[in-house]
Amino acid sequence: MHHLNGSRTGSADSPLHGGHCPPWLFARMRRLAALLTEVVAVEFGPAEFLRRLADPIWFQAFGAVLGFDWHSSGLTTVVCGALKEGTADRQGELGIFFAGGKGAHSRSTPEEIAAAGERFALAAPLAGLERSSRLVAKVDSAALQDGFQLYHHFFAFDRQGGWAVVQQGLREDTATARRYHWLGEQVADFTDEPHAGVTGTAAGGAVLNMVAHGSRAAREASLDVARQPTPEVLRDLEALRRLEAPAAHAEASAGGPTAATGVAAPIPLSLFGTPSQGDRLVLARPHPIPNTRRIDAALTRLYARRPEDYAGLLLTPGVGPATVRALAMVAEVAYGARPATTDPVRYAFAHGGKDGHPFPVRRRLYDHSIQVLAAALEKAKVGDTEQMGALRRLAAWGAEAGVPVE
């Protein structure tokens, strides 16, 4: 086991698999996950465990070591569940705390963070952690519109206020899931390239990426639009909706307003990735313009709050993908501030288990591994570090020799 010099964060894509984790396997996963967490926490500290959790490749390998499907979307939810349940009675001792999970559990993350703070008398800024949790979810569900619907949000943090997030979304049309990893210590700006590293496969189709560095002007213009009186924004949206018809190719002058909208168009427009054709405005079909009735209340709240930055805009109640998209569309037409449409995913990797790949789980070997780790940790607690030292030397030798761990 070695220290990671450069933590990667990002996302990973996996095929959707049905079924459930067998009880006999999940019981072992809970035990081994807790032991491995303790090994990293004891050897390198809680902050290092957060860094590893935020590394999509390490996380995938961690799930494989626990015996789950290396290529299944279920790895995310089951591994996070095993971590949370396996350490439930030892989080205070380890200094690592877990909140959230799948479905309804994801929505209770802020309450679970607050409960952990009260139970363990944490000095970490809990309000800041709760805000980070909400903002991470909003970024990957609304500011980054890649076709994946979030259904899992897992938040890990330590006593010093460090945090990491593992969340996952599904895309039914391609039967795939995408996992997003975040590491608090690497996030300088939640809305400007917050993912330090991304792995997976391209989503296909148009992507609206409002947190790309190239969307900075679009974010600032969206803020300006949000501060306009709601009726004015709704009027512009309705004008754009009329252009959304099949023959929606409105003639636009280089520096004046379009004939149909009356909104200034300082440059030829493309609206989210469709190339402009000379002085013609071409509306991209993959990003339909939202119905104004759906976002009226959200725009009213934005106008009343007048958020200071784009993060504040995202955290405004009622602001979701439709509102973000509508503001970006009006901002592009009004200011020529085109948002980025590039998918943040950079490369793909294949991972393999519960379903027998690459081979069936060897239960006796699994139990033996648990016993070895448990014994080493118990001895280390009373000052006998010989066995832990042997494990470290074995890991170092394996890494140098390129020996795969089986």
Check residue 381 and give its pLDDT: 62
How distant, in Å, are the alpha carbons of 89, 128, 165, 238, 271 from that of 112? Answer: 15, 14, 14, 42, 41
| Whether the Cβ atoms of residue 175 and residue 122 lie closer than 8 Å to each other | no
pTM, to two decimals? 0.77
Check residue 260 and give its pLDDT: 40
Backbone angles phi, psi at 73, to 5 degrees: -65, -25
CA distance 390 to 379: 13
346 pLDDT tier (thresholds 50, 70, 90):
low
How distant, in Å, are the alpha carbons of 13, 135, 136, 190, 302 from that of 312? Answer: 29, 9, 12, 11, 9
Check residue 342 and give its pLDDT: 87
Check residue 196 and give its pLDDT: 60
Q: How many CA atoms lie within 13 A of 29 on its CB side?
A: 28
For the segment 169-194, what is each residue's pLDDT rounded down to a tens digit? 888 887 778 889 999 999 999 999 99
73 pLDDT tier (thresholds 50, 70, 90):
low
For the segment 251-306, what is each residue's pLDDT rounded down to a tens digit? 333 344 443 444 433 334 556 655 444 444 555 555 678 888 889 999 999 999 99
CA nearest to 209, candidates 188, 180, 229: 180
Mean pLDDT estimate for the chain: 77
Residue ranges of E strands in 103-174 = 144-145, 149-158, 163-171
Worst-scoring range by mean pLDDT, 56-60, 76-80, 275-279, 319-323?
A: 275-279
In this predicted structure, the answer to whether residue 11 has a pLDDT above a threshold of 50 is no
